[in-house]
């Protein structure tokens, strides 16, 4: 089950963007078994005590997690080459979109949230 999946492209390394993992954002009520594990079998993500709500979509609520592999000083993944499939398979750029990658990235970087604690 350690098979790596096809990666989705994102601007994280090109543009030093850590939007997806600072914090990690998932749909609400993510099953605990989907939280990735480190090499010792411990959860790689630690759940925060907050929800993020997109300002432009107040019906959506996102759970947030701190990733043990995220370096807040550099904004980079400490083990990017070996990141879990859930990280490889998620990306902010939709290759089938008629919008340019730059516009998609711009929208992502400008997305605003408010926190519920």
Q: Residue ranges of the domains in the chain?
A: 24-116
Q: Which residues have a Cβ under 8 Å from the Cβ of 2 and sit 6 or more positions away? A: none
Beta pairing, strands 24-27 & 45-54: unpaired
pLDDT confidence of residue 5: 65
pLDDT in tens, the chain (117 residues): 456 666 776 677 777 788 888 999 999 999 999 999 998 999 999 999 999 999 999 999 999 999 999 999 998 999 988 889 898 887 778 888 899 888 888 888 888 999 998
- pTM of the full predicted structure? 0.83
* DSSP letter string, 57-112: -TT--EEEEEETTEETTTTEETTGGG--HHHHT--S--TT-SS-HHHHHHHHHH--
pLDDT confidence of residue 68: 96
């Amino acid at each position: 089950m350690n098979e790596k999946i096809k990666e989705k492209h994102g601007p994280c390394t090109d543009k030093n963007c850590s939007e997806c993992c600072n914090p990690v954002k998932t749909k609400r009520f993510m099953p605990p078994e989907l939280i990735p594990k480190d090499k010792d079998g411990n959860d790689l993500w630690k759940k925060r005590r907050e929800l993020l709500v997109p300002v432009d979509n107040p019906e959506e609520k996102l759970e947030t997690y701190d990733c043990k592999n995220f370096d807040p000083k550099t904004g980079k993944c400490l083990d990017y080459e070996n990141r879990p499939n859930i990280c490889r398979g998620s990306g902010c750029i939709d290759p089938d979109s008629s919008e340019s990658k730059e516009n998609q990235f711009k929208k992502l970087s400008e997305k605003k949230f408010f926190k519920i604690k």
